[in-house]
Amino acid sequence: MTQKNKEVCIELVLKLSGTITVLTTFGIIWVLFSESFSFFKEVSIVEFLTDNQWTPLFANKRFGIMPLISGTLLTTAIALTVALPLGLSIAIYLSEYAPKRLRLIVKPLLEMLASIPTVVYGFFALMIVTPFLKTILPNISGFNALSAGIVMGIMIIPFISSMSEDALRSVPKSIREASYGIGATRLQTSFRVMVPAASSGIIVSVILAFSRAIGETMIVAIAAGQQPRLTLNPLVPIETITAYIVQVSLGDVPHGSLEYKTIFAAGMTLFVFTFILNNIAFWVRKKFREEYE
């Protein structure tokens, strides 16, 4: 084979593997849509979006996705309440305050937090955090949104801190020095100059953390319960979209049945949420890159 032909073949092989990622996306969309489509032949979209009960596995079947969405958003909100202040403080501290050596030690340790399998976090939530919360809030249930949300928050701290820190550090040094040069303190420099300058990067980190929390599965499947209910009470069992999919997967639901299709309708709802968030993040990041190029 001549060198020229070899080059062409190699490029073709590389291109083929590139198309696998496109096929994956098509696969996901196709799988979710086709199964959801046949789901919506039997259940009206209006019921799906407006009914306030989700009981596909009971004798009296109701198909309102709202309770699952509320459960998902509740745990996510708790997680962000924990992770946002902590993650941002860590990011600002590491990029503006901490001595270099401390940063070099702490950063990989924080990344380790992100590498812990989520099933382990689930164990933390159920076996350690919930019993601890019970000593403060005696009427909290064994499964609840609070404990799962808090642990999920701890899990996503490194996402926010690491990405926000990168954003802060990519701000040109001259900007920081200009602020110091007119006598600003580190705190003033951080919040009045650096954070605004890095705002798009920080926003991206928050959106991605949000998206990550919505899609998180094992922590909520283990610690938040399996009772879909439309509530903002963090002390009682709820169910998230992801936990529902796990619940059905563990059972013996025959392929083609309406119950089987519910997990695709639920998955599709989840996918739409994360897809929108990820695209906003992508778009913001793109704008951000253009600003500094």
Partner 1 sequence: MNRGYINRIKDKAFGLVGLIATLFGLLILTFLIGQVFYEGYNRIDLDFIKSLPSRKPEKAGIYTALAGTVWILFLTTIFSLPLGISTGIYLEEYTKKSRFTDLLEINVSNLAGVPSIIYGLLGLEVFGRMLNLGNSLLAGALTLSLLVLPIIIVTTREAIRAVPNSLRMASYGLGASKWQTIWEQILPASMGGILTGVILAISRAVGETAPLLVVGALAYVPFAPSSPLDEFTVLPIQIFNWISRPQHGFSVNAAAAILLLLTITFIMNGVAVYLRNRWQKKHNW
Question: Between residues 54 and 143, which has the closer beta carbon with respect to partner 1?
Answer: 143
- Interface with partner 1, residue 143, by CB under 8 A: no
CA angle 100, 101, 104 (to 5 degrees): 90
Instruction: Give the span between the Cα atoms of 38 and 264, in whole angstroms.
Output: 10
Question: Between residues 119 and 178, which has the closer beta carbon with respect to partner 1?
Answer: 119
Q: Which of 5, 21, 135, 139 binds partner 1 (CB under 8 A)?
A: 21
Q: Which of residues 118-137 bind partner 1 (CB under 8 A)?
A: 118-120, 122-124, 126-128
Q: Which of 85, 175, 257, 289 binds partner 1 (CB under 8 A)?
A: 85
Only one of the segments 27-35, 59-67, 167-175, 195-203 lies at the binding site for partner 1 (rule: CB under 8 A); that segment is 27-35
- Interface with partner 1, residue 40, by CB under 8 A: no
- Interface with partner 1, residue 90, by CB under 8 A: yes
| Distant-in-sequence, close-in-space partners of 29: CB < 8 Å, separation ≥ 6 | none
For residue 189, the minimal CB distance to partner 1 (Å) is 9
| Distant-in-sequence, close-in-space partners of 134: CB < 8 Å, separation ≥ 6 | 140
Instruction: Give the span between the Cα atoms of 19 and 15, in whole angstroms.
Output: 6
Tokens representing residue 26 in the block = 């098509």
For residue 81, the minimal CB distance to partner 1 (Å) is 14
Distances (CA, A) of 228 to 6, 38, 106, 147: 58, 23, 39, 17
DSSP bridge pairs for 212: none
Instruction: Give the span between the Cα atoms of 72 and 214, in whole angstroms.
Output: 6
Q: Which of residues 179-198 bind partner 1 (CB under 8 A)?
A: 185-188, 190
- Interface with partner 1, residue 246, by CB under 8 A: yes
Phi then psi for residue 113, to 5 deg, are: -55, -40
Only one of the segments 41-49, 52-60, 204-212, 231-239 lies at the binding site for partner 1 (rule: CB under 8 A); that segment is 204-212
Only one of the segments 49-57, 195-203, 214-222, 231-239 lies at the binding site for partner 1 (rule: CB under 8 A); that segment is 214-222
